[in-house]
Structures are given as structure tokens and as C-alpha cells.
Structure 1
């Protein structure tokens, strides 16, 4: 419930905004609003567009200013284009701090900035905007204390006094901290005050941003609106209310504050028209421009144009890192575009005709055509809304169905209303989709795990929006049961009722179908064909851990093209995948989505156990939360030797082992039956001493069929085997590691250290580049930096859990070889500490074989 609370709150605020709008717009006639929009002079629209572009130029400067503050200077074209794209997409999608932060992460991480730098940039921009918007609004209130008289039950003198005191309370500490260069520690974060020059520059940027965005709406308002300073206070209050609500774009909340605060003498119908135009110009135009630029960049890359030949080529060359950073977000952005197109088509079918040409068409065309085209338009709009979920999951089928639906929608719109704007917009949408054909490569189900809480809330909000427009457009109609069956060329209300019902039913039925599909895959032991396919894929990879798919104790899910797989076991309520998907990136992504989707549809939690850093982006795309579970010790064999002062202790231990009569033998499979009997005795003795039994899932076990797949490393003491390990490797010969490691009680001290040292020298001589010493569980957790409950728990277990497992001793042993410590994670659907998934994993490992 805590995880769902933000979504439920956003939906509740959206619904409250819709209800408030419906009541505030009670006396408004939708035809009057349409006439007001149509009569807006083009020079006013042009001036509002120019103010919008100037505002977005100021927004783009936020990132430039933030990067200067933290001392990370990037080329201005990259920083400015990245800032423009982040705000153009973030402002329209909503949750700007999150969506804009996602763009920044992809942009700046590729340019050498780490996570803390990117967090600093996002924090700087958010705090700068919040402070500036508050100061601008308070200053406007101090000058015109009656600006929010309809919303604040306070007298003008008191409002002015409170505004001045609030300005002083904000500016005083800020200026003092800036002049003294103070640092404030809040929890685990340290905030450094910007220099006075940085504060002045950022203040000018922020004033420009808020001023130009307010000017955009102010230019569109009717003549009875207050002066600009009065309006600035209203605009600042409405903007902050929309941001705090976390409703996408502040829809409903922003409009409610503006309409309630402006004087009714300005004309509510004219204010509503201005707000609609403001939404189109300030939010949709930059979003469309950014999408078109991104599509042109994709097309430019596809044709491999010479950047020196064209001006646009030089632009793309200078800003290429910014576009490449946004490129992975294209499916989400295109899904938002298609969702909006579908919503627009659904709403258009509810509205009466606004133009004389459309009314003439209704009079001339047959009744069946008029009624049928309205229903078809609403059905196509609902289809686009559902298909947008498939676009997020890169479904190729969803892409082509979307293109067909948009082209059909353009044809229906042309025939239904004779309105070229909607037709041209749908065709432009198809043109934007086509350069991204390569991003949609999944050939399985249309959607995988599509109905996340965010999408559910968005669908419910769309249905609420359809209901609002339906009843607002036809609020003067006396509703009766006969309306549903009334068919006439001039009967718009019953047609809208049928269209709205059809659109809502299709969206709801499509969503219900996605939720209630039965699983098509059942966990079961792998067959010989699946094992053979998994073996080919694993041996072609450079990850020895992929070979654990061949133990036979895990289910293997193979991608549709049979180029990638996920190996997993079922324990409790968890489907536990061991490691990341194995195979080429596109196929691995497909099978990962299939795994998560199938587990969820089976009522289980999908968990990825022991994930390396290379798989982190995929896990985030899957909506998983990462919890660090330890670090893997990896040796760079090209730099490994026993020479030099740093290797003095290791060299001495190795020489002592040789003097004690230890030798190492590397044996290729198949293995001698007599040797296997002697190694079995060592294994049984080792298990008895550990009071343990054979494990499964994350390790192999002593079984002739398993060990005959791999080379064996045997340590002899004066000719008698005393220790052994099996060596895992793939055909790439880049990395190798060991699986079982067991020794006899009579083995001399230092036997296992000798095994690893001598083995790494042998593998280096054979041309291998890396050697994995395996995991150090719970190692490297940093609760002081992360502040996460799981990290605190894991750190305590690491430092004080010696009675159960020698965590510190294991890391200390591996640290002798001076490895690189590579973080590994468990990826779970929840942000809660992964105690239940790890308990399920422990039971799965303990089952043995």
C-alpha cells in the first residue's frame, strides 16, 4: 500500500481536479470555447509560441548552471540540448523530477559523471526552480496582495506582510550561506551553497523561465484579465499546485487554481479557451518538436549522412550525446504520443461539430455513415490507448498495429469532421514512428508486464477524462433511457454516449484481458533439446556462471529466436532466476520480459539472483529494485604474477607449498573412474566435516555426469590427491572460475591458496584474461551512503554474523590475490528488504540433488 500510495494520490487529485473543473465550467458552452479558440489572432499565437521557446531556452540553462556549480563542465550544445529534451519530455509526461532525471542519467553517465553528480544536478535544478517559483509568487503577492483574494481568506495588509517575511526567510539564509560558503549536512547528504555569482545567474535563469511561461498564458487571456504582476502570483501558485500533485502535466489541478483565482468578469469561457491553447502551445508543441528532432536524428543516423554536407548534420554532430542519451527512452516517449493520439480521437468522437463544413457533412452523408464513423473513431482511439502499452515493451506487432490504427484514424477523421488538424497530426505521428522501427524487435506478446500501477492510473484517468468531456459537452441535454437508441444526423448527445461507452469498454476490456491472461509457460525440468540449446548459448557467452544451466536442477526459459535463455528455480512464492539472461542483448531482453511477465501472471514474484553491473539497465527497464548482495572477486590475469614487493606474502606461501610437496594437475574430461572414487572420498569427508550436504541452484554437486563436463584441478600431496575443484569455462576463453572446491582433512595448511595461485598462473599461460574467485556475500555494503534498511541489515550480518558464516574471513582470503571487487545484486519487484526472496533462495540452494 505504501508503494501504491503515490499513484492513488495522483488519481484522487486528478479526479478532484476534474470535479472542480466541471463545477467551475458549469456556465460555459463548449461551442463558445471553440469559437474563442478559432478567433484567436495568429499573431497572438505566434507571440505565445515565441514566449514558450524562450522559456524552454531558460529551462535548458538550468542544467548548464547546475554543472558549473558542481564543477563538471560539458560542451554547451550537449548540456543545452540535453536540458531541452529533458524538460520537453518531462513537463508533458509529468513527474518531471523523475522523467527528467532519467534523461539526465542516460546523458551524463555516458559523459563521465557518476550517480552522485547526476543526483546533484537533479537536486540543484529542482531546488532552484522551487525557490525561484516561490520567490516570484511571493514578490508578486507583496506588490499585489489581492491577487489571490479569492483563494486566501486573509486581508491585503496581512498578505503583504506575510509575503515579505517569507521572502526574507528564504533569501536571508541563502545569501548568508552563499557569502560564507557554508555546507549543510542533512542526513547522509551534504549541501553546498552556490557562490553569489551562481545564485545571481540562476535567479535570472529562473525568473526568465517562470516569467516566459506565465507570459505564454497571459498573452492568450481575454481583455478582462489582471495586470501581469497580479497574474504572476496566480500562475506561480497554480504551477506549484500542479507539481505537488504529481498529476501528469498538473492536468485539472493547474486549471482549477487559474480559473478560481481569475476574476469572473474576464469570462470563464474565454479563460477556458486560453487554458486549452496554453496546454497545446506550452506542453504539446515542445514535446512534438523534441520528438521530431529525435526522429530526424534517428533518420540521419540510418542514412549515414555526411555531417559536413548539411546544417542539420552539423547540429546533430554537436549534440549527438544528448540524442543518444534519450534514444533508449524512445519506446516510452512514442507510447505517450500514441496514448495522447488515442485519447484525442476518443474525445473528438464525443464532441459536436465545430465547423460549418462538419455540420454540412452530417447533413449530406447518410445516417449510418455519420453514426458509424463516430463509433469507429472512438474504437480506434481506444485501440491506440491499449496499443501504447505494447509500444512501451518494444512489441513489433504493437508498432504495426499502431501504424494501421493511426492511418485508419486519419481516414475516419477526414471523413467524419473534415478537420485537417487531426488528420495531419496522425500522419505526422506515423512519420515519427517509422525511423524507430529498429527499436521494436520483440515478436512475442503485444505486452509484457504492461499494466504497472502507473499505467493503471493513467488508464483510469483517461476514462475519467472521457466522462468529463462527455458530460461537459452535453451538460444541457436531458438524459433519458431513450437517448441510447436515438439515431439522427443532428443528435450529438446519444452518439457521444455510445462512443464514450464503447471507448471505455474497449479500454477496460483490453486492460482486463492483459491482467487475466493465463500463463503459457509452466516450470518443469529441462528436456534434452532445451539443455542442448542452453549449452550452445552458454558456451558462446563469456560468463562461466551461465554453465550452471546444465546442472539440470533449474527450469530453462528460451527466447522465441532460441538465442537467449533464463535459468530459474521455483521456491515459495518466488521464481528465482540465477544470474542475468544469457545471450545477445535483444534476445536476452525479450526472454527477461517473458520471464517477469509469466511469473507475475502465475501469481509469483520474479527475482533475479546475483546480477552483475552490466545487467543493471535491463533490471531498471523491467521495473525491478536492486539490493546489493555482495561483491565478486575477479582477477585480471594479464596483471597477475608472483613478482614484486606486493606479492611477497603470496610468493612465499606458494614456494612453501611447493617445498611441502604440493603439486597441481589439470585434467581434461572424461575422467578416470579410479580417480573419481578417490575424489568422492575427499568430497564425502569434506561434507561431513562441514556438517553439510550437496547444494543446488547456485552451485554444482559431486555427480559424475556434471564433473565429466569440465576440466578437474587436482592438488596432490606427495602423489596423493588431497584437494580438487572443477573448472568452469566457455568457448570464448575470456573468463574462467571454479565451482566445487573441496579438500581432505590431511591436506597441508595453505593447500587451497596454492590451488588458486597455481591455477591462475596456468590459466594465464593458456591465454585467459580473467579469473573469478566467486562471491564475498554481504561484502561492500555502504549503509552510511545509501541509508537503505537492507544495507544496514546486511552490514550488521557481515560484521557480526561470524557464528553463522565467516563473511569477513572469506573476503580476507580472496583479498590476498588483489582482485577487482565487482558488485552483485538481487533484483526484486519490491523496494522492501529482500528477506523473503533470499529465504526462498536459501531453501532452493539447500535442497541439494
Structure 2
């Protein structure tokens, strides 16, 4: 009887623990079950909308007019856009230097900038998994960095890029929301409200840098180490400048016929549309978003002519240069490897 009376509370406790564990497991399963499906639905819906815009506007475009517009453009007037595009690529090439500072690895500045610029050009044209990740891992590992160091460098660079994006987009949407076409059901006020949470995320990041700089913060099993406040500010300044230069490139190629802040706003919307739809190089996505949002202010043929030049200057020419640089690095690495092998014998 004594054993029975002692076993009863133990059994009840076990049942309570089992029920609690089962409840948590069921709750966790529900959380894991609906969230991926929701994100998948949103991505499919967004992709469907963008596809509809591409098809709708592609059917109405007179490509002959686009070609005529391109022929009328002055080559002399295009040089500033090309120079600005190369400046943007060079600035982005410095993003990995921030990771170099944090990780204190021994690669030289020119090596880091070269790897970043090559990866960025391939990232733009083939997607982040190919350019932003695969090329960085291959090139950095060839130069002697280990996987964990490369991961930290890539993560720092990506965070830098999107911090600047959120600040620029948030400020533009809040203080100067884009005037949407009359046919759109979405009101300007709704776009205006998107600005506040974007700026809020950047402010939160800076607060955490100020309070927890150099310390590790655990959140739901994930550990994050925040840099110092000056470092965080530098990240935002560099990225903000880069996004703004990209906007200037398109502004120049559209012959300053649309306000710069509106061009920049549409570029930011097109950038996130390209990321969500996973279309390599945002091919057709950028054009569709620009035509959909700005064709009521500027003829579609002129818009597309400017965007084709933008693709040439910001995507294709840097890709050609990056391909040559990548081949040179590969040949150099093979020669060095062969030399070490010969020296070993």
C-alpha cells in the first residue's frame, strides 16, 4: 500500500508532464505547419501578381519605339550613368571589409574587395545563392578562410545591405510616399504606413548596438553578436549611399524626367519584388514594376529604354568584367597550387 500511495503522485506527475509535452509538441507543430504554408502562399501570390504585370505590359509594348528611343540617346550623356554604376559596385565591394574588421582575418584589402565585387556581379545576374554565397565561399576558401569566418563575413555584408535598404525605404515611404497610378486600389496612405516599421527595425538595431555592442544576445535558441554603435552607423551609411547611387543611375538614364525620390522608391519596390519572386537578375520584374508604377508619368518606350540601359550598365558590363577577373583568379590559384605541388616533390 505504501508503494502504491507513493507511486500514485509520481504517476500523476508523469501524466502532467506528458500532457504538457504533448500540448507543447502539438502547439509547436501547429506553429511549424501554418507558417511555411503562409509564407509559401504569400510568395506565390506575389509571384502571380508580378507575372500578371509582366504579361499585361509586355503585350502593350511597342518594341520598335523602344529601339528608336535607344537610337536617339546620346552616348556622351550615358557616361555619367556608367561611371556611377561602377562606383556603386566599388562601394558594395567594400561591404566585406566590415566583416574583415570584425573577424580580423589576414586577407588583404584588394583581395576582399575583388572577391566581393565578383560575387556581387554574379549575385545580380544569377541570384544570391550563386553569387552572394557560392562564389564567396569558393573564392574565400581558395584564399585560405575557413567556413565559419566566411559565413560571418557574408552575414555582415548582407545585414549591411538590408539595413540601408530599410532606412531609405522607410524614410521615403513615410515622408515622401510614392504617388500610385489612379487605377491602383492601394492608397498612398497605406504605402505611407509601411515606412514606420522599416525605420523602427533600423533604430532597434542601433539601440542594440549601443547597449549590447560586442556582446552575444540569445533569442529563441539563436545567438547574435552585435557590433559597436559606430560600426552599426558605418554599415548604414555605406549601404544607404549605395542604394541612393543606384537610384541616381536610373534617374540619369531616364533623363531626369521623373523626380529622383520617386525613381528611388520604385527601385526599392522592384528590388524586394525580385527577391521574393526569385527570378534571376529580376529579369522582367524590375521592368514590370517600373512600367506599372510610372507609365502614367512617362511613355513606356522611354521607361524601358532607360531600364535596358540600366541592365547593360549595372548588370551586364560588371558581369563581363567579373567573369574575366574570376577566370584570372582561378588560373592564378591553379598555378599556385601546381607550384606548391612541384615544390613538394
Structure 1 length as normaliser, TM-score?
A: 0.32
Deviation at 1:58, TM superposition (A): 1.2
Distance in 1, matches of 2:131 and 2:123, equals 5
> Highest Rg: 1 or 2?
1
**SS at 2:297 equivalent:** helix
Q: Does 1:276 align with 2:308?
A: yes
1:177 counterpart = 2:185: no
Deviations 1:38-95 (A, max 9, x none): 111112321111111011011111111122123335210100001111111121112x
SS in structure 1 of the partner of residue 80 of structure 2 = helix
Contact 1:238 1:258 in 2 (8 A): yes
Residues 15 and 143 (structure 1), Cα distance of their counterparts in 2 relative to 1, 3 Å cut: closer
Instruction: Specify whether residues 57 and 116 from structure 1 end up closer, same or farther in structure 2 by C-alpha distance, changes over 3 A only.
Output: same
The SS at the match of 2:224 is: strand
Question: Residues 171 and 199 of structure 2 are in contact (CA less than 8 Å); yes or no, is this contact kept in structure 1?
Answer: no
Question: CA shift at 1:218, angstroms?
Answer: 1.5
Q: Give deviations 1:341-397, integer Å, cap 9, x for gaps.
A: xxxxxxxxxxxxxxxxxxxxxxxxxxxxxxxxxxxxxxxxxxxxxxxxxxxxxxxxx
Q: Please state how far the C-alpha of 1:199 moved relative to its aligned partner.
A: 1.4
- Deviation, 1:290, is 1.4
Cα pair 1:147 1:234 within 8 Å, conserved:
no
Is the Cα–Cα contact under 8 Å of residues 266 and 290 in structure 2 kept in the other structure?
Answer: yes
Kept in 2, the 8 Å contact 1:64–1:79? The answer is yes
Distance 1:295 1:66, change over 3 A: closer
- If each structure's helix is expressed as a fraction of its own residues, which one has the higher value? 2
In the alignment, the residues of structure 1 paired with residue 62 and residue 254 of structure 2 have an alpha-carbon distance, to the nearest angstrom, of 17
Q: What SS class does the counterpart of residue 264 from structure 1 fall into?
A: coil
Question: Among 283, 291, 315, which residue is 1:251 paired with?
Answer: 283
Q: Which has the higher contact order (CA 8 A, sep 6+)?
A: 2
Name the CA shift for 1:291/1:26 in 2 (closer, same or farther; >3 Å). same
Structure 2 Cα separation of the partners of residues 72 and 162 of structure 1? 39
RMSD value, Cα: 3.1
Paired residues of 1:105 and 1:118 also in contact (CA < 8 A)? yes
1:414-425 → structure 2 map (5 Å cutoff): none
Q: State the partner residue of 1:63.
A: 96
Question: 1:515-594 alignment to 2 at 5 Å?
Answer: none
Residue aligning to 2:19? none
Q: Where in structure 2 are there 5+ consecutive unaligned residues? A: 1-36, 337-345
Instruction: Name the counterpart of 1:91.
Output: 124
Report the secondary structure of 1:57's partner residue: helix
SS in 2 for 1:74: coil
CA contact (8 A) 1:60 1:84 kept: yes
Look up the SS of the partner of 1:185 in the other structure: strand
**In the alignment, is the contact (CA less than 8 A) between 1:222 and 1:266 conserved in 2?**
no
Determine if the alignment matches structure 1 residue 190 to structure 2 residue 223.
Answer: yes
Match of 1:703 in 2: none
Corresponding residue number in structure 1 for 2:140: 108
**Superposed counterparts of 1:761-776, under 5 Å:** none
1:623-645 deviation per Cα after TM superposition (whole angstroms, max 9, x unaligned) = xxxxxxxxxxxxxxxxxxxxxxx
Q: In 1, are the aligned partners of 2:93 and 2:117 still within 8 Å (CA)?
A: yes
C-alpha separation in 2, matches of 1:26 and 1:224: 24
**Alpha-carbon distance in structure 1 between the residues aligned to 2:44 and 2:328:** 35
The 1:127/1:93 distance shift into structure 2, 3 A limit, reads same
Q: For the residues of structure 1 that align with 2:305 and 2:166, how far apart are their CA atoms?
A: 27
Match of 2:250 in 1: 217
Q: Distance in 1 between matches of 2:297 and 2:144?
A: 55
Instruction: For 1:93 and 1:27, locate their aligned partners in 2 and report how far apart those are by CA, in whole Å.
Output: 28
CA deviation vs aligned residue, 1:247-297 (integer Å, no higher than 9, x gap): 101112222211111142311111111111111221111001112334456
| Aligned partner (choices 61, 79, 98) of residue 46 of structure 1 | 79
Is the contact made by 1:234 and 1:258 (CA closer than 8 Å) also made in structure 2? yes
Q: What's the TM-score once normalised by structure 2's chain length?
A: 0.75
Instruction: Give the number of equivalent residue pairs.
Output: 294
Alignment partner of 1:175: what SS? helix
Mark the CA change 1:274 to 1:111 in structure 2 (over 3 Å): closer, same or farther: same
Q: How far did residue 234 of structure 1 move?
A: 1.4
Deviations 1:398-431 (CA, angstroms, capped at 9, x unpaired): xxxxxxxxxxxxxxxxxxxxxxxxxxxxxxxxxx
Structure 1, unmatched stretches of 5+, are: 302-319, 328-849
Specify whether residues 10 and 73 from structure 1 end up closer, same or farther in structure 2 by C-alpha distance, changes over 3 A only: farther
Corresponding residue to 1:154 among 176, 180, 187: 187
Equivalences for 1:195-594 in 2 at 5 Å? Answer: 195-222=228-255, 224-225=257-258, 227-295=259-327, 324=333
Q: Does 1:128 align with 2:160?
A: yes
